[in-house]
Chains A and B, each alone.
Chain A
Amino acid sequence: MKSLSSINLSQDFSGLGGICRAIRTFVYCPPSRANPSPISLTHSSLRVSRCSTSLLSVTMEEAKKQALDAEKAALLVKELRKSFNSGRTKSYEWRAAQLQSISKMIDERAKDIIQALQLDLSKPELEAFVSEISMTKSSCQKALKDLKHWMAPEKVKTPITTYPSSAEIVSEPFGVVLIISTWNYPFLLSLDPVIGAIAAGNAIVLKPSEIAPATSSLLARLLGEYVDGSTIRVVEGAVPETSALLDQKWDKIFYTGSTRVGYIVMAAAAKHLTPIVLELGGKCPAIVDSNIDLEVAARRMIAGKWVCNNGQACIAIDYIVTTKSFAPKLVDALRLALEEFFGKNPLESQDMSRIVNLYHFRRLAKLLDEDGTSDKIVLGGQRDENNLRMAPTILLDVPEDSTIMQEEIFGPLLPILTVDDIQDSFHMINSKPKPLAAYIFSNDDGLQKQFVQNISAGGMLINDTVLHLTIPTLPFGGVGESGMGAYHGKFSFDAFSHKKGVLYRGFKGDTAARYPPYTPEKQRLMKALIRGDIIGIILALLGWSKE
């Protein structure tokens, strides 16, 4: 886990510099009332005004102290495994009760949730309500409504070879699962997989992201209050805690976050043969054809970029490809709509999230300031480091080898690349790793069809953005570098269930052909049986051969 610590420390704590925020140190506390387990990891808050070199060393020391927590993590898993083995999580009643509690929690504590998201990301209340609270709530409701149906064994047909028999596919929980979530939608991306894991009947440890500390601590508090603490736990913390958790043996790991950490999670899972779901990101392209209703399209592009947590979303548009001749019109339409949405001075707008922390702010600034990129800005470019605000920024024709076109942007910068013929965009997209989502705006049926056929992506949406993830009947998940496995709706249930094939036979209906000693007659009968060849079976039984 060495690599994990070295990668993340700088970004986890660098955000403290700009904005005097609460950071928490994670200490081991004796059993408390809210969380009666002796091994629960609780936290105390420490208010720090400005980042200093000493702060970083303090944090490092705290981190070292925590590195000893592998033992406690092992105890935690052991305890949860004991609860799981008691069988309580398997019952419909337990699952439904937990889901009902979460649903109730969302209703009763919506205000707290919105506030935490304000603190962590300055997420506009309405955006928070739509993309986090409503999405989580509807996912919970869907699971509650369909739970019985999902849990029921699925009857399947059996072949003549095993006649007489009946068969079904039984969904069983994996056991004790680990869910590691991320900071951009810290509420939704924590609870959505938890809902799936509960529906499937697993015991759960949730590790929310320390980069959204207010939501992380709120989740720890709320889940402690609303759900069964002997089977569902929240562990807060940063790299050392995550490493300690990843060292344990889990029955499934569900990770949402960056591709870089995805590699680390998978390597850790490999040691224990643990199956995983990785929800990563990638550079999601949007192809914009010239035959479209530009006003509507521009609005939808903005909804898929800046209305998504100011571009800090895994399915936000990363870059646009359009034709040379259409690009100026597109830029004008975007400019107009952006002004309508966020006003003349977007840095002041309360309708847009800020950048999560200083590390990410500087990363984005660096992308923008790179030689060959900085002179391509056609709109926006304003930023306010003190408040971590960055205006919607559009860049035209940045070089393909620039950093902004090599890395996932994850912020309010939108490069527009131009091609002579819109068909050329396919090649451009296919030369990059497979993205989580791909979008196209076009009224040309042929082009749409080619797009679906030729471009590989986790999911795709034609003439709109982001909406596909609100549809519970569609699997949501990546392919290639954008992840593996899928969830949402029943797919969430399936992601946390093992599909056990169960075959029932009577004692009758045995053919001697199955057993040694083998004779030529038996061989003939077997051939017929396996081919499902009724005439052959009769002939073989009568001692005749068709040959």
Chain B
Amino acid sequence: MEFEDEVVEEMERELEEMRECYRSGRTREASWRKSQLKGLLQLLREREEEIFRALHQDLGKHPAEAYRDEIGSLIKSLNYALDGLKRWMSGKKAKLPRIALLTSAEIVPEPLGLVLVISSWNFPIGLSLEPLIGALAAGNAVVLKPSELAPECSSLLANAIPCYLDDKAVKVVQGGPGVGEQLLHQKWDKIFFTGSVRIGRRVLAAAAEHLTPVTLELGGKCPAVVDTLSSSFDRKVAAQRVLGGKFSFAAGQVCIGVDYVLVDKKFSSTLVETMKVVMKKMFGENPRESRSVARIVNKHHFIRLQNLLLDPMVKSSIVYGGSMDEDNLFIEPTILMDPPLQAAIMTDEIFGPLLPIVTLNKIEDSIKFINSRPKPLAVYVFTKDESLRRSVVSKTSSGSVVSNDVVVQYLADTLPFGGIGESGMGRCHGKFSFDAFSHQKAVMRRSFLVDFWFRFPPWNDHKLQLFRSSYRYDYLGIVLTVLGLKKTDRVSKSVQTSN
């Protein structure tokens, strides 16, 4: 216990030093921000092999997947931030009505202060550094707490970051739930959390103790609506993208991966046949040997996924795959057809390589199906029918919508990435990340030269008339009233008499 107190004291002392560093103004400088972003770029370039290794050890990720989802996408984000930094940092002029003579106004982004980034284990590098880019670009001091469930990546970040970034203003704190809890007790100016709904709630409750604004990047069951596609080419592309979006991103352990597929009953068998062909091509006869499927992160999650299949009704709905290897924490990419809707596999977020296909009487019913469940982080729709596409966009609610593809929205810096309802709050990526870590300060400047005498008491009807005109931006009215040519309003008289 005493030891723990010491640890907490040490943490508090370090945080105070970081706050002091922030107050010195160093992190606000454009040059500082730029040097930090460049430091991250250098880290990714010089430590690429180490990162590949750590991701393989933690999750069995293939380097190609690691590069596509983590290193490469981070490099892209860093370049985008470096490119936009100057523009993002500069104040934006705000338009003013003409009545505000000799006045100027702008919106100046300012850093929030000392911020906390808590990331998750499924993309342990990407989801740690992506928010860090935004926090640094916005000029904050940052504490990063990577997930202890990806220990190799966590320790890699802890060792590498101090070598490339300003260690007075950026720190990595490693540890499990105990450390996370201690961190959450501190006062932050912003908390950015990526992870599960359960811990998200805990983060928000802790933030409420200090009125700290929070961004929560959570998950949910992301559906893919697949319309009846008549051309075999389209079918193949759709199957490839759905299956790729499910199994080739950390073996389905991804918040924007496809959770389940919705399809017209009459089209379902055709779709499954196409999928089987594509599966064979992607992962071969023996997926375990292919090295193209990541493994399950740990025993706990392996057993959780195993339990999803325990229900005999669920087990009997398997139409492809289903084999498991507990020693290697490997689960074969698995497709299920119409598992019971009340089974855990259809009520909980799956977060693993199991793909249920749910059949509907007509594809339009998918809107109702999606709306009767918590709002997901993403909705995918594969169709050539413009009206179906439009109703998915306008009638369902989700973090994002992608038509005819999956997961690629993660790479679009110009689109806000973030959930709604149970899938999270706040948004990130590109300029949105910068904004998530900035306060938009309204700044207005006035001169002493113009002063409307009618702004001040004692009040009379004449002044009332002038206010009426000025709020309507009725310039002629103002002139007439000032010249005494316009009749003044009688409201005040009537109120006074009625009293």
Residues of B within 8 A of A505 (CB): 402-405, 408
- With beta carbons under 8 angstroms apart, the residue of B23, B216, B440 that contacts A475 is B440
> Does A407 touch B at the CB level, under 8 Å?
no
| B491 engages A467 (CB within 8 Å) | no
Residues of A within 8 A of B440 (CB): 475, 486
> Does A403 touch B at the CB level, under 8 Å?
no
> Which residue on B lies nearest to A478, using beta carbons?
B439
> Does B395 touch A at the CB level, under 8 Å?
yes
| B467 engages A507 (CB within 8 Å) | no
Contact with A along B380-404 (1 / 0, CB 8 A): 0000100001000111011111111
| A515 engages B244 (CB within 8 Å) | yes
- With beta carbons under 8 angstroms apart, the residue of A292, A342, A457, A507 that contacts B237 is A507
Known: A137-B471, A158-B412, A503-B409. Contact between A460 and B444, CB under 8 A? yes
Docked pose: A130 CA to B159 CA in angstroms: 60
Residues of B within 8 A of A503 (CB): 400-403, 405, 408-409, 412, 415
Contact with B along A448-460 (1 / 0, CB 8 A): 1000111011111
Docked pose: A118 CA to B495 CA in angstroms: 9
Q: Which of A14-22, A31-39, A214-222, A260-268 contacts B (4 or more CB under 8 A)?
A: A260-268
Contact with A along B437-454 (1 / 0, CB 8 A): 001111111111001000
| A341 engages B248 (CB within 8 Å) | no
- With beta carbons under 8 angstroms apart, the residue of B23, B421, B456 that contacts A273 is B421
> Which residue on B lies nearest to A522, using beta carbons?
B64
| A273 engages B204 (CB within 8 Å) | yes
- With beta carbons under 8 angstroms apart, the residue of A162, A430, A475 that contacts B408 is A162
| A456 engages B439 (CB within 8 Å) | yes
| B205 engages A270 (CB within 8 Å) | yes
CB distance from B198 to the nearest CB of A (A): 10
Residues of A within 8 A of B67 (CB): 523, 526-527, 530
CB distance from A191 to the nearest CB of B (A): 15
Q: Which of B100-108, B267-275, B295-303, B340-348 contacts A (4 or more CB under 8 A)?
A: B100-108
CB distance from A63 to the nearest CB of B (A): 25
Docked pose: A514 CA to B65 CA in angstroms: 9
> Does A502 touch B at the CB level, under 8 Å?
yes
Contact with B along A428-459 (1 / 0, CB 8 A): 00100000000000010000100011101111
Docked pose: A286 CA to B263 CA in angstroms: 63
CB distance from A483 to the nearest CB of B (A): 8
**Size class of A's contact patch?**
35 or more
> Does B68 touch A at the CB level, under 8 Å?
yes
Docked pose: A505 CA to B238 CA in angstroms: 11
| B76 engages A516 (CB within 8 Å) | no
Known: A114-B491, A114-B495, A531-B72. Contact between A501 and B451, CB under 8 A? no
- With beta carbons under 8 angstroms apart, the residue of A263, A303, A467, A516 that contacts B293 is A516
Q: Which of B128-136, B358-366, B458-466 contacts A (4 or more CB under 8 A)?
A: B458-466
| B211 engages A278 (CB within 8 Å) | yes
- With beta carbons under 8 angstroms apart, the residue of A271, A307, A471 that contacts B201 is A271
- With beta carbons under 8 angstroms apart, the residue of A430, A454, A479 that contacts B112 is A479
> Does B417 touch A at the CB level, under 8 Å?
yes
Residues of A within 8 A of B265 (CB): none
Docked pose: A508 CA to B408 CA in angstroms: 14
> Which residue on A lies nearest to B457, using beta carbons?
A351
| B401 engages A351 (CB within 8 Å) | no
- With beta carbons under 8 angstroms apart, the residue of B290, B451, B457 that contacts A352 is B457
Residues of B within 8 A of A475 (CB): 107, 440, 442
Docked pose: A532 CA to B468 CA in angstroms: 56
Residues of A within 8 A of B103 (CB): 467
Docked pose: A129 CA to B492 CA in angstroms: 10
Q: Which of A119-127, A227-235, A372-380 contacts B (4 or more CB under 8 A)?
A: A119-127
> Does B322 touch A at the CB level, under 8 Å?
no
| A516 engages B282 (CB within 8 Å) | yes
CB distance from A341 to the nearest CB of B (A): 4
| B200 engages A273 (CB within 8 Å) | yes
> Which residue on B lies nearest to A437, using beta carbons?
B442
| A460 engages B68 (CB within 8 Å) | no
- With beta carbons under 8 angstroms apart, the residue of A87, A118, A167, A498 that contacts B414 is A167
| A263 engages B209 (CB within 8 Å) | yes
Docked pose: A271 CA to B197 CA in angstroms: 11
Within 8 A of B (CB), among A125-158: 125-127, 129-130, 134-135, 137-138, 156-158
Docked pose: A523 CA to B197 CA in angstroms: 34
Docked pose: A267 CA to B447 CA in angstroms: 43
User: Number of contacting residues on B, CB 8 A?
Assistant: 116
CB distance from B106 to the nearest CB of A (A): 9
> Does A474 touch B at the CB level, under 8 Å?
yes
Q: Which of A44-52, A294-302, A318-326, A410-418 contacts B (4 or more CB under 8 A)?
A: A294-302
> Does A169 touch B at the CB level, under 8 Å?
yes
| B105 engages A468 (CB within 8 Å) | yes
Contact with A along B232-247 (1 / 0, CB 8 A): 0110011011001001
Contact with B along A329-350 (1 / 0, CB 8 A): 0000000010001110000010
> Does B63 touch A at the CB level, under 8 Å?
yes
> Does A259 touch B at the CB level, under 8 Å?
yes
> Does A159 touch B at the CB level, under 8 Å?
yes
CB distance from B145 to the nearest CB of A (A): 19
> Does B213 touch A at the CB level, under 8 Å?
yes
Docked pose: A292 CA to B451 CA in angstroms: 14
| B105 engages A471 (CB within 8 Å) | yes
| B393 engages A170 (CB within 8 Å) | yes
Contact with B along A165-179 (1 / 0, CB 8 A): 101011010110000
Residues of A within 8 A of B204 (CB): 269-270, 273
> Does A251 touch B at the CB level, under 8 Å?
yes
> Does B152 touch A at the CB level, under 8 Å?
no
Contact with B along A499-530 (1 / 0, CB 8 A): 11111111110100011111100110011001
Known: A341-B457, A507-B238. Contact between A460 and B411, CB under 8 A? no
Residues of A within 8 A of B384 (CB): 507
Residues of B within 8 A of A341 (CB): 456-458
Docked pose: A532 CA to B80 CA in angstroms: 11
- With beta carbons under 8 angstroms apart, the residue of A111, A127, A459 that contacts B491 is A111
Residues of A within 8 A of B420 (CB): 174, 498, 500
CB distance from B452 to the nearest CB of A (A): 10
- With beta carbons under 8 angstroms apart, the residue of B401, B443, B467 that contacts A500 is B401
A-B contact pairs, 26 of them (CB 8 A): A125-B459, A125-B464, A129-B491, A157-B414, A159-B412, A172-B394, A259-B211, A270-B205, A275-B425, A292-B448, A448-B445, A460-B443, A462-B446, A468-B105, A471-B442, A484-B213, A500-B398, A501-B400, A503-B405, A505-B402, A510-B240, A517-B284, A517-B290, A526-B72, A527-B72, A530-B76
Beyond A174-B420, A501-B409, 16 additional pairs, beta carbon < 8 A: A125-B459, A126-B460, A129-B468, A134-B467, A159-B76, A269-B208, A273-B421, A351-B459, A459-B444, A460-B444, A474-B105, A501-B416, A502-B401, A506-B404, A507-B384, A532-B76
List of 6 A-B pairs having minimum Cβ-Cβ separation, nearest first = A516-B292, A501-B415, A530-B72, A459-B442, A518-B64, A126-B459
B interface residues with partner A (beta carbon < 8 Å): 23, 25, 28, 62-65, 67-68, 72-73, 75-76, 79, 94-97, 100, 103, 105, 107-108, 110, 112-113, 189, 197, 200-201, 204-205, 207-209, 211, 213, 216, 218, 233-234, 237-238, 240-241, 244, 247-248, 282-284, 290-293, 371, 384, 389, 393-395, 397-405, 408-409, 411-418, 420-422, 425-427, 439-448, 451, 455-460, 463-464, 467-468, 471-472, 491-492, 494-496, 498-499
